[in-house]
Amino acid sequence: MADNFFVGVKDSTAIRKDLLVVMRDSLELLKQEQMLKDIKAEKLAAAEELKKELDTLAKLSRKLRLKLPKVALKKQRIAALAKKKAGEGAAEEREVARAKPIERKPAGKSKLQLLEEELANVEQKLKEMG
């Protein structure tokens, strides 16, 4: 025999409101988690791009060294030239890095946007309840 048991719930609107508040907080946490995942993905992509650029730079540097004539210089003069070049190269590199913005891909609805929509729905329900 299947016996059905029913329980009366006192102040059901308050319980529903509390549940919606908990859902809203959960969605906000999920939204923050998704934002952190997106930032991590962008960071990894930027690191990969940097690695490729550094590899390309190393290859070009090797090719340049092979093409340059061999000249015997004193070690002191070489060290002075290297220090001077390192200071100039670092300043130019900083200027290039500042000038190039990070490109972001426009995508369809991401998880973050879906979470924001669901959060808006929950907040709308909360407003309706009072």
Q: State pLDDT tens for residues 65-124.
A: 888 877 665 666 767 777 777 766 555 555 555 555 555 555 567 788 888 888 888 888
105 lies in some domain: no
104 lies in some domain: no
User: For the segment 29-52, what is each residue's pLDDT rounded down to a tens digit?
Assistant: 999 999 999 999 999 999 999 999
36 lies in some domain: yes
40 lies in some domain: yes
Work out the number of other CB atoms within 10 angstroms of the CB of residue 122: 20
57 lies in some domain: yes
The single-letter DSSP state of residue 2 is -
6 lies in some domain: no
124 lies in some domain: yes
Q: Which domain holds residue 42?
A: 12-99+110-129
Q: What is the pLDDT of residue 33?
A: 96
What lies within 8 Å, CB to CB, of 130 at 6+ separation is 17
2 lies in some domain: no
Position 8 pLDDT exceeds 60: yes
Domain tally for the chain?
1
Contact 115, 25 (CB under 8 A): no
